[in-house]
Structure 1
Amino acid sequence: MAQSDLLVSSWCKNVKSLPADYIMPPEKRTTDFSVSKDIPVLDLGQEAGRGRSALIQQIIKAGEEFGAFQVINHGVSDDLMHEAMRVYEEFFSLPVDDHESLLSDDFYKSVRLYTSGYNYANEDHHLWKDTLKHPACAHPQDEVVQGWPDKPERYREIITKYSVEVRKMSVRILDLICEGLGLEEGFFRGELSQGIGMVINNYPPCPEPSLAMGIHAHCDPYTLTVIQQQVYGLQIKKSGKWIGVDPLPNAFVIMIPYQLQIISNGKLSSCEHRGVTNTSEARISVVTFCGPSKESVIGPAKEHVSASNPPQFKTYKYLDFQMNYLYHLSKKNLCNETALGPYLL
C-alpha cells in the first residue's frame, strides 16, 4: 500500500463503519464527558490597561485550576485566523499526489505528514487523524519556511504571517505568566521559548466516533501550547473528569505544558487533553507551541523554592526530558507518571 493511501482523508469519505484496526479498546474510548462553559475566557485587551493585574491573577488561577484557558482580543486578526484555517482545509483536500513528498514515517523528521500516531506500522489501533508538523516562524524572513509545503499556493505566505503573529502573542502571555509567578523580568524569553513549531491535525468525519479516538490523552512537553479550533473536539481533564472545550469564534485555547508545571514547582498544572471525532464535520486543530532549546537547563525557579516549599522536581537538560517523552510517546505509554516520573524528587 502506498503511504498516501494510509491517510485517513484519502479513503474515509464513503466508509459506513469503522475499520477493525481503528476501533479502540473500551478503556480508550471517550465516555462520560460534558462540554463546559466554565473554562476561563480571558481578555488580553486588558494587558496594557488598569485591568492588567486582574488579568494576570486570572491567568495564574486558570493555570492552577484547569491548566488551560481561552483568550480573546489577543491581537491576531480574525481575518488572518480565518485565512490560516482555510489554507489548512485546502491543504488536507489536495490530491494525494500533492502530499507524496511530505509523507514520512521518520519519527524525527522536522517537516512531516503522517497518519494516526507517531508509528503507524507498530500500532495495534490507529487514531482517526492525519497530521502535518513543521517548525514555525519567529520572524517574517525565517529560513524554515523553505521546508514547508508549497501547496496550496498561499500556504507559505499566509502561514508565515500567522505563525509570526501567534508567536508574538505567545511571548506576551509568557510575560504575563512570568509576572504572575513573581519571576525575573524576561524569564521566559530567549532559550526557554526558542524552540517553536506547528502541528496541524485533521480529523475527518468519522462513521462511529464512539468507537474511535482522534488523539490519545497526553500533556505537552513544551513551555506554552496555543490551539486554534473552530469545531468541537478538544477535551481536557479536571479533577479526574473529562470536560469538552467549547470553541469560541476567533479565540485561542492556551494550555500549560510540563515545563511550566516544573518551573513553577507545581503551582501551575500541566493540562491533560485529548481529541474526539464526530460524524458530520471535519475538524482541524492548529497547534503552535514554544519550547526550550535542547540545551536549556530546567528546574523549579528559585522564587518557588523555600524551606517550607521544597523542590518537587530535579533540575535537568531539556533534551533529556524531550527524549524520554518521545520514547514513551512512540511506545504508546505516555502519561504523567512516565513523563514526570524520572524528574520527581
Structure 2
Amino acid sequence: MEKLISIRSNIQTVPESYVLPPDRRPGKQDVPLCKTIPVIDLKGEHAHDKAELIQKIIKASQEFGFFQVINHGVPEELMRNALMVGAEFFDMPAEEKASFYSEDPKKSCRLYTSIDYVREKVHFWRDTFRHPCHPLEDHVKDWPEKPARYREVVGSYAVEVRKLGMWLLDLICEGIGLKPGYLGSGLSQVQLMALNHYPPCPDPSLTLGLPKHSDVNLITLLNQGEVNGLQVLKDERWLAVEPVTNVFVVNIGHMLQIISNGKLRSADHRVVTNTSVARTTVASFIFPSSDSLVEPARPLTNKGSPPRYKAFICKDFVSTYIADTHEGKPPLERYELDP
C-alpha cells in the first residue's frame, strides 16, 4: 500500500524512481489542444442520416483511432456521479482500501499503482482500481462496500456504458462491411472498469501518468471529467484532448484493428499530470472472452484482400501485449503477416 502515489502526502519533488529518461519526458512545452478529433452527435442514429453517422465514425476511426460522442444516452448525472464516487474511493484512508491492493495482475478486483511496479525501471504517476463488471450480477458482490454508493453508482454506470459500447460496435460493423452483432457474444463478453487517479505532481515535465501506448482491447470509452491530461499522437505530434462535460472519448483497440483487417487503427496516447489538482477518470474496456479466437473477420478477407494478421487466442495476445509493451516493442508486430 505504501507504493500508492495517492496516499503519499506533501511530496515536494518528484522521486527519482518516477523521473523518466530525457527522451521520454513530456518536457515543459505546451501541447496544443486538438481541434480536429471529431465530436459525433449520436442522436442521428435513428434518423435518416444514419449512413452519414456511420461514415463519420469510420472516418474518425481510420484517421485518428479516436472520436468523441455526444447525445450518447448515458445520463449526465450518472457520468458525474461515477467520477465523484471514484474520487471518493481514492480519498478514503489507506486501511479502508488495503484489502483490494494487489501486485498480482490475475486478481480480478484490484487496486494497484503505476503499470508494472515490480519490473518497470521508472514508475508512472497513477493509481488504478480495476475490476470486471459484466455480467453485473456476477461481479458486483466483489466490489467495495465503501464509499456507500459505489456499487449502486458504478453498477448503473457500467450497464449504461455497455449499451453505448455495443451500439457503437454495431455501427462500426456496418461501416466496415460486417453484419450488426458480429462483435457480440464471445467477442465482446468481457467488460472491465478502470478508475484512474492522478494526484497533483510537483514537476509534470519529468514524469507521466501513463506512457505512450495503444489499448489492447476492442474499444475503450473514457469519461475524463473536466481536467486536462489525455494526449493523442497524430502525425508524430502530441495533441491534447480537451475535456468536455457529458462527452465520452472513444478509441479503437488493437483487437478491433485486427478484426477489421487493418481498416480501422488503434492510436497511441498518453496521460500527463499537473501541479494543482487531482484528476480522476473512469475508463470502460470491452474485450473478447479470454478463450475467444481473434482473427481478421472472414467476410473482410479474400484473394484481393488477404488477412494482414495471424489468428490468436485472446488471452495469449494479452500476454504478449504486456511483455512487448514492457520491452518497448510494437505489440502488433509479431502478429503481422507478410503482404
Fold conserved between structures, TM > 0.5: yes
Matches of 2:115 and 2:45, distance apart in 1: 38
Partner of 1:116: 114
Partner of 1:165: 160
Q: TM-score, normalised by structure 1?
A: 0.94
The alignment covers a number of residue pairs equal to 334
Alpha carbons 1:36, 1:243 under 8 Å: kept: yes
Partner of 2:242: 246
Partner of 1:333: 327
Alpha carbons 2:192, 2:284 under 8 Å: kept: yes
Map Cα deviations across residues 299-336 of structure 1 (whole Å, 9 max, x no partner): 1122322333222111222122112112334xx2244x
Matched, 1:132 2:124: no
Map Cα deviations across residues 129-151 of structure 1 (whole Å, 9 max, x no partner): 11111001335xx1201111111
- Tell me whether 248-257 or 231-240 shows the greater mean CA deviation: 231-240
Matches of 2:262 and 2:240, distance apart in 1: 24
Q: Which ranges of 4 or more aligned residues in structure 1 deviate by more than 6 Å?
A: none
Matches of 1:309 and 1:121, distance apart in 2: 43
Matches of 1:26 and 1:109, distance apart in 2: 34
Map Cα deviations across residues 13-43 of structure 1 (whole Å, 9 max, x no partner): x222111111111111114632212110001
Alpha carbons 2:65, 2:264 under 8 Å: kept: yes
Q: TM-score, normalised by structure 2?
A: 0.95
Alpha carbons 1:298, 1:315 under 8 Å: kept: yes
- Tell me whether 309-318 or 50-59 shows the greater mean CA deviation: 309-318
Matches of 1:21 and 1:163, distance apart in 2: 35
Matches within 5 A, 1:189-268: 189-230=184-225, 231-268=227-264
Question: Would the alpha carbon gap of residues 122 and 299 (structure 1) be closer, same or farther in structure 2, given more than 3 Å must change?
Answer: closer
Percent same amino acid among aligned pairs?
Answer: 45
Question: Would the alpha carbon gap of residues 81 and 113 (structure 1) be closer, same or farther in structure 2, given more than 3 Å must change?
Answer: same
Matches of 1:301 and 1:265, distance apart in 2: 7
Matches of 2:180 and 2:69, distance apart in 1: 22
Alpha carbons 1:138, 1:167 under 8 Å: kept: no
Matches of 1:185 and 1:15, distance apart in 2: 51
Partner of 1:290: 286
Partner of 2:83: 85
Matches of 1:21 and 1:281, distance apart in 2: 22
Matches of 2:4 and 2:309, distance apart in 1: 40
Partner of 1:25: 21
Partner of 1:344: 336
Map Cα deviations across residues 139-180 of structure 1 (whole Å, 9 max, x no partner): 5xx120111111100000110000000001000000000110
Secondary structure at 1:280's aligned position in 2? coil
- Tell me whether 297-306 or 236-245 shows the greater mean CA deviation: 297-306
Matches of 1:15 and 1:103, distance apart in 2: 22
Tell me how far 1:6 sits from its aligned partner.
1.7
Matched, 1:177 2:172: yes
Secondary structure at 1:198's aligned position in 2? strand
Tell me how far 1:122 sits from its aligned partner.
3.0
Secondary structure at 2:323's aligned position in 1? helix
Alpha carbons 2:134, 2:189 under 8 Å: kept: no
Secondary structure at 1:150's aligned position in 2? coil
Map Cα deviations across residues 236-275 of structure 1 (whole Å, 9 max, x no partner): 1112221111111110000000111111111111121111
Question: Would the alpha carbon gap of residues 28 and 300 (structure 1) be closer, same or farther in structure 2, given more than 3 Å must change?
Answer: same
Contiguous gaps of at least 5 residues in structure 1? none
